[in-house]
Structures are given as C-alpha cells and as structure tokens.
Copies of this chain bind each other. A is one copy, B any other.
Amino acid sequence: MTVASIIGGGVIGGGWAARFLLNGWDVRVFDPDPEAERKIGEVLANARRSLPGLSDAPLPPEGQMTFHADMAEAVQGAAWIQESVPENLGLKHKILAQIQAVCDAGAVIGSSTSGFKPSQLQEGSNAPGQIVVTHPFNPVYLLPLIELVPSPANEAGFVEKAAEVLRSIGCYPLHVRAEIDAHIADRFLEAVWREALWLVKDGIATTEEIDNAIRYGFGIRWAQMGLFETYRVAGGEAGMKHFMAQFGPCLQWPWTKLTDVPEFTDELVDLIAGQSDEQSGAYSIRELERIRDNNLVAMMRALKAQDWGAGAILKGHDARLKAGTELVATAADLTEPRPVLTCARAVPLDWTDYNGHMTESRYLDAFAQSTDRFMELIGCDAAYIAAGGSYFTAETHIRHIDEVHAGARIEVRTQMLQGAGKKLHLFHSMYEGARLLATGESFLLHVDLTTRRSCEPGPQVLEGLALMRAAHGALPYPEGAGAAIRRP
C-alpha cells in the first residue's frame, strides 16, 4: 500500500486526504489543530458520497487514515507528502525544513500554495529538487486541475513522476512551464475578484447579481471550453484572427477599473458579507457544500457522456481504473459456470432523487452498462461495432426489489439464458453486498448498423457465444426470469 502524508488539514489538506484515501492510498495526517480529525472527517464524508460515483469503474478499496503528532512518524516511508499550511512563506519554510529532516529522499513534497513560486519555497533547502508546487482547486476531491509548477531545481524525471502520481488519483496535472506569482488560474481569479469588488463598492451590482451574470452566461461556457476555444467558436468561419481584430481594440476602452485597488475598509467587507448573507444565508455552509458537490458531479458526468473537458479526464481515469482492476469479468469468465460480474461501481449522485434514492430509470442505466460489458466479453467490442455490427435491445423487464443510496457500491452479475443466431437473452442481478436490489432481463437482436436490420453475428461473436453457452448452459433458470406483469 502506498502512503501519502498530509501536512496541514483544513479544507484543502482534507480534500487531498480524501482523494488519496478513496483512490486506495494509506493517508497519514499531521496537523497540530485539535479539531483536525473532525474537520477532515467532514470533508471525507462529502467525498465519500460524491467521488466514487463520478467513476463508472470501481475504485480500489479505501486506504487507512491515521493522525500523527510526530512529524517523523507522519512522513517516513511516504511516497507523497502534501504541504497545505497557511500562505506564509516563513511558516512554509519552517514546515518544509521539518519535513525534509525526516522524510525519504525519494518522496515528492508537493505544496498547495496558490501564490508562491517553487523557487521561493526551495530557498534554504539542501534538497530543493524534492519540493514542487502542486496547487489544487477546491473541492480537491472533485476538481481535476492541479497546477504542477517546478523550478529549474526540479529534474524532468522527478516532474514526470509527480505528474504520474497525480494522474493515478484522477487529477489533471497542468505542467506550468514558467514560474510566476500565483501560477496561471489564480491570476484570472484575482483579476475577476478585483473587478467584482469595484462593482459592489460602486453599487453597480450586488454579489448575487454578479454571481448570476457569471453562472447564467460565460461560466457555463468556460466549464467546457475555457476562454480561447470559446472565442474561436465565436469568431465563426472567419477564424481566430478575425475574432481578435474585432475584440482586440476594446482593450483600449475604459472598461475595467484594473489600475486601482479598492481600499479594503470595514465598510466594504460589511457590504459584501451582508449581500452574501442575503444571497446564500438560507443555506448552511454544509448544505452549500453538498449542493455544490451535487452540481459538480452532475455537470462533470454530463461532460463525461460527451467525452469532453473535465468529463474526458474522468473517462481517461475510468479506463485506467478498469485496466488496473480485476473486479470486473475478464475473458476467463467465458468458461466459468457462473453468472459473470459485468458491472461494479458506486451509485453516482446524479442517479438519485431528492431523497438520495437511486432513480427508477438509472437501474436500466446500470443494466445497459452490464449488457455493454457482456457484449464486449463475447467479442462484440469497440472494433467489432466500428466495423458495423452490434446488438440492439428489443425488450427489457425490470423488477425493483430494494432501494439503494448514493455512494453505495453495487455489482451486477449476468447470466446468459440464450445466445444463438441473432438472439441474445440476458438476466442481470444487481446487488449491494448480499442484498438483491433489482433484476433486469434483456432480449437483444444482433443488427447491421448500416441497414439497422437484424442479421447473424460475425464469426468472432459466434465463437464467444458458443463459449458462453458451454459455460452457462447448465446453470439453473433464474427465479423471476420470463415473468410478465399479469393481467388483473
């Protein structure tokens, strides 16, 4: 088991702890705050309900989390050490020295700093090449972006090793090739924050109006294409140069108050805090966190179905998880006389209703995922489908037997009842542990994707079907199969 050390809890450190833990790492926490265990526990509870279901593959089993008052105990043997203490360079230097006095020479020390350059953090260190900036975004357990900022003291191999660890826990390491204060993303956040303060101070807009101006318009655009690709599309057929010719000159206009910094008076703070209370005060911070996580999961999974933006990151991570796991059926299962494990996953937040129960139609989503996996096993895989053959579902029968909540780990086992010629008849059983949640019976026909008509499968699939018939032919006909909703 690989070990990550989390130095400094809080929202950011807790988010890192949750991401490592749920991706199968053991996590050791060092934080003098007596409340650290409670605070990290709360972040972890949020992560447990939202992170596993982002994936359509099973995460590895959770690691162990332990809390340590002794730095050596916390970091010795750790492959990754994440520093998330407050933004104070003196404090960071002190903590980094304490870490480096006892940690393994091969460990990566990542700093969550949003403002300092890695070369600043490395000042005075005997092993500066071990320290790098890995700046995350809150909530760390959901958002994939990590700004990975090395200095010239970090070797290329070290940077690639750090990037690989980050990818292995589902992150997107953005290698920032030049050190600057605040890296990349926070420079934008800073520019927007500054402008927003002026708008509120000058009484042009309230905090709520500003949030609406963002989230009902360009915020949704940026969530999928960012700034330049969005403008490329806006420029239309005439292209990016045309867009710049149109938009560029506006830079000269007096459209922003960027040259001044509003004075940070008590009055301005009260104005903004008061407006924020009016806007969001009906919800506690815990409620807002859950609402935010529900929204992020739903949007990121929506993007995943499109294989785009943050959703493409999720999809890549799933492929990695599937390759690394033995939980789901392999070709060997073609010969075993037992139902095949065709789906192992967590129930995602966007599959549940307002009560947190899995929604009716999502049972069919899981069964459809099982059918896809079964098809793959018998040889009807992506290459076969690209060549023009596939199966279409003609008929489905679902029995809802018990309820299940978001975050629960479910498994589907599939028995082939018929698989010959054009016909494929499957019986799926969905479990949470030993508890049967639902059964799904599917009758499919093999089709030619060009004519959209049924036809015999190709030799590869006929062979897969024959193997599966040999394996499942003697299994008892399952209880509930062949049932109809009776006429009263």
Contacts and interface: CB of A to CB of B under 8 A. Distances in A.
B299 A224 contact: yes
A395 interface: yes
Interface stretch (A124-132, A257-265, A335-343): A257-265
Contacts of A228: 196, 207-208, 210-211, 272, 275-276, 279
B190 A178 contact: no
Contacts of A188: 192, 195-196, 213-214, 218
Contacts of A395: 397-400, 483, 485
A483 to B, nearest CB: 6
Interface in A429-460: 441-443, 452
B204 A185 contact: no
A115 B292 CA distance: 32
A145 B213 CA distance: 7
B177 A205 contact: yes
A484 interface: yes
Given A215-B310, A285-B232, A250 B190 contact: yes
Number of copies: 2
Interface stretch (A65-73, A74-82, A361-369): A361-369
Given A115-B250, A361-B361, A225 B218 contact: no
A186 B235 CA distance: 16
Interface residues of A, number: 151
A309 B214 CA distance: 10
A320 B485 CA distance: 37
Given A144-B216, A235-B285, A256-B258, 5 more contacts: A115-B253, A174-B212, A184-B205, A190-B256, A211-B228
Given A192-B192, A249-B264, A360-B364, A216 B482 contact: no
Interface in A206-247: 207-230, 232-237, 239-241, 244-247
11 contacts: A138-B233, A172-B216, A182-B253, A184-B199, A192-B192, A215-B310, A229-B276, A232-B280, A237-B285, A258-B259, A417-B487
What are the 5 closest A-B residue pairs judged by CB atoms, nearest first?
A: A211-B226, A258-B258, A145-B217, A484-B484, A219-B222
Interface string A36-54: 0000000000000000000
A120 interface: no
A142 B399 CA distance: 38
Interface string A285-322: 10011011011101111110110111001000000000
A264 to B, nearest CB: 5
A90 interface: no
A129 to B, nearest CB: 22
A217 B299 contact: no
A319 to B, nearest CB: 17
Interface string A114-125: 010000000000
A65 to B, nearest CB: 20
Given A185-B214, A192-B191, A368-B360, A221 B143 contact: yes
Contact of A218 (B178, B185, B210, B392): B185
Contacts of A393: 360, 400
Nearest to A289: B233
Nearest to A284: B237
